[in-house]
Structure 1
Amino acid sequence: MPAKAKTILIWLLVIFVVYAIYTSPDRASEVVRALWDVIVNAVASFGAFLGGLVG
């Protein structure tokens, strides 16, 4: 992907995120909380997997 196109897409994403937070902060916080839960569960599952390999 050309560098200019990548830069434009990143800026569009940032603008969209700011707009989403501004127009609906409650919904935006729910989305962030859900993403955080997914990340935490993935790390915990990976840790359990490694623990099962070692133990």
Structure 2
Amino acid sequence: MGSKAKKVILFIVLAFFVYAVFTSPTKAADIVGNLWGVIVDGFNSILTFFNSLLNR
């Protein structure tokens, strides 16, 4: 994918994010909070996996 295509996709995603925040800030905050929770849970799961792997 070319550099120009990446910039267009990034602009579209950013525009959608700004639109979502302005139209429904509470819902947008909930979505970001949920995504952050998923990332943290995934990271903790990976750490648990490696800890149990190294402790055997």
Same fold by TM (over 0.5)?
Answer: yes
Instruction: In structure 1, list runs of 5 or more residues that go unmatched.
Output: none
Identity %: 38
Structure-2-length-normalised TM-score: 0.91
Letter matched to residue 41 of structure 1:
D
Structure-1-length-normalised TM-score: 0.92
Instruction: Count residues in correspondence.
Output: 55
Instruction: In structure 2, list runs of 5 or more residues that go unmatched.
Output: none
- Give the equivalent residue in structure 1 for 2:51: 51
Letter matched to residue 36 of structure 2:
W
- Give the equivalent residue in structure 1 for 2:9: 9
What RMSD, in angstroms, separates the aligned Cα atoms of the two structures? 0.7
